[in-house]
Structure 1
Amino acid sequence: MASIAKFQKTSASVQAITVLPVLLAISLVHMLNDSMQAVVPAMYPILEKSLNLSYVQVGWIGFMLNMTSSVMQPVVGAYSDRRPLPMMLPIGMGLSLIGMVGIALAPQFWYLLFAVVFIGLGSAIFHPEGSRIVYFASGGRRGFAQSVYQVGGNAGSSLAPLMTIFIFVPFGQFGAIWGTLFAGMAIAVLLGLVPWYKKKLAQWELEREKRLASKTLAAEHANHPRMKFALGLLIFLVFARSWYHSGISSYYQFYLEHDYGLSVRQAQIPVFLFLAAGVLGTYFGGVLADRFGLKNMIVFSITGAAPFALALPHLPLMLVYPVIALLGFIILSGFSVAVVYAQFLMPAKVGMASGLTTGLAFGMGAIGAVALGKAADVFGLSSVMFYCSFLPLVGLSAIFLPSDRKLGV
């Protein structure tokens, strides 16, 4: 276990002070990036009607978005661990810009899928490099720094219902063109961050020899069977949470329309409460993890959400609003914590750790979006929402994760 502590000490000079302006800037870009991704689920009610989509087709759209960004994230992370490329950040946002134009102009389902791939690729490039910037700017306050970063992303995702209400219902599919403004702003901020990032990478390279010496110890630690089991279990937990998150963010709005008789606009409010409360949960989860431990927050975030998830399909409309807000707060309180925990398990591979927890695991969750959509077409949306509510119970297995206190946190 001492290998992690030794590895951390070698990088102390590049992380001695928390650089809040950089954290806020990269968090803003994260918000803009995930806002562009949020355009896709925000348009589901519009696209379902304008392109006459089935639930399984809706699921395929989410699958292509998440799988493209998710599967590529560990690949990008592994490559950038060896050779970071700061200029890839604005280039990746350029791909997302192309995707936004494509969504606005797509005449049919297959064109839409092609446009979504560009947004996914842009996101795959951004996330591992963005996490590395957070790592450099954290000053050792990993939970706090990662939570600031993830708050931006979750805030962007939470905008989906509001975009549906104020943009896509009035303007339809072409309203997606507004997403190009997000891409343009993100590119401008990233171009401003690139010089700082290059400077930190240069400092990081100067410590290469010290880092390589401790990296061998860290690699031995990461390859220990217990650590491999912990990483596999962590990915499984994130996978289960992603399935549930996909069920709420993608299909709960349709459930509210069909079972509660809400309009398209009205159905966005509970989904927005779930996502917006998740923004607060992400921030406080990271802050509390610095005090109470990473594993404790991961266990709380998933198992603590289970009672609310189980109750949600059976509640009267009046109680849906407060319960879904509490549910979003609790279940997303472990969002950023999972990334930091993975980085402690893989201290020599920060980019890959981020890619596995926010990338590949979410790609596995994207399979859930398709599976849930197919199940909804076959068995009905009410049945899917009922059985989906049991997914947070998987979080009970988090008790088998190694304590991060023993890892030197």
Structure 2
Amino acid sequence: MHYFFDQHFHVMNIVHPNLLSFFSSLEGGIGDLVTSGTLSPSYILTNKNRKSAALLNRITNTLTTFEQTIGETLVMMEDDLMGKFSSHDEEAIRPEKPYIHDGKMHMRSRTYDKMAMCPLLMDFSSSKIRNDSLYYPAPKEEKILDYVKDTLEGFDYYRTTHPDGLFEFFPFLGINPQVHSPSFIEGLLNTYIRTGNEKKQFYGVKLYPPLGYDPWPTDPEQRDKVIMIYEFCTKHDIPIMTHCDDQGFRGVPAKEAWKYTAPSSYKPVLARYPMLRIDFAHYGWQYNQLQKNPLSLLSSLTSRVPDSPWFYDLVELMLLYPNVYADVSFSGSNPDFYVLLSNYMKTLDVEKKQTVLSRSLFGTDFSVNLVKVESYTSYYRIFEESPFSDDDIHEMVHSNPLRFMHLDTDG
């Protein structure tokens, strides 16, 4: 079976995120948003989105996916790749033919029998939020269980309405250890994560440091809980996906989120579990200008390389450990990202270049990416127009994710 992977995307509706947790993280109000880089011109407030109407359209388009069921969103995603929607953006790039036609997925010179879809469930569960300024107390919530139920129902809806569809699902289960007991975490792992041929639905674990996940806590009780996850994943060769850019949904203040999210925070983890299979999402991109090298802006795009320190920390981990990967989700909303990544690979010797290329995964970050691109199709088109060769792209959408997921197929 020849699979095309979207290694990183999200489907959810408005009940799944924990908005109380997000707003409680903004201790400094609007100032915190400015400091964090959320308002950076390279993040959401791009030149195109600075006009209020354009930004409103992007936000409204994003929210449409939150106003429907997960199953309806999955159907919409495949319909989009089949060319069933018209563009309303004169600047949006579109393929000459829909990516799905004649019963196959098409990308550059290759065709694929099926699409391996890896939705990432984030664990928005929370402890009781402490905020003395709130009149009503915010309760402790175990949101992940309802999210799992709704997601599995969404898969069933898709299969029922699209019996000949190309999507097959390989979801990742979100776990936020700091808000759960050891027995609850053990129950999640043993109940939902597939460790063999049994009919469990989840193929990997999703970690999200900005919600307060410390990859290697100093507190012994908290460390025991993350060790439980790492040992389970190492024993059964389960892939882990961790968020790795300096933006996104947060449950803690920005500087604390950065501390946990930085690739370097996983150094003690990988030193103890060197075979851990882990994908650092978004390729370690940083949008906060204070974190970047301003001199890189003086060179032309064709000669520039990434200016995010986390990017280089991540590549260092790739070169040290055999199962460290990175994906291009959300970062690939900006066509320049692929130019910078390609430029960097050209600076490497043959062996290092092949290591980095062989650990690179395609992902979209749908539907979060709709704040920067018009559609699911638009994101694919940006990737298709990247400077990578057809063989490079095939590695990123097929060969590399099969290896990362540790899946045995005939393709």
Superposition TM-score, scaled by structure 1 size: 0.29
Of the two structures, which has the highest relative contact order with CA contacts closer than 8 Å and spacing of 6 or more? 1
Richer in helix (by share):
1
Richer in strand (by share):
2
Superposition TM-score, scaled by structure 2 size: 0.29
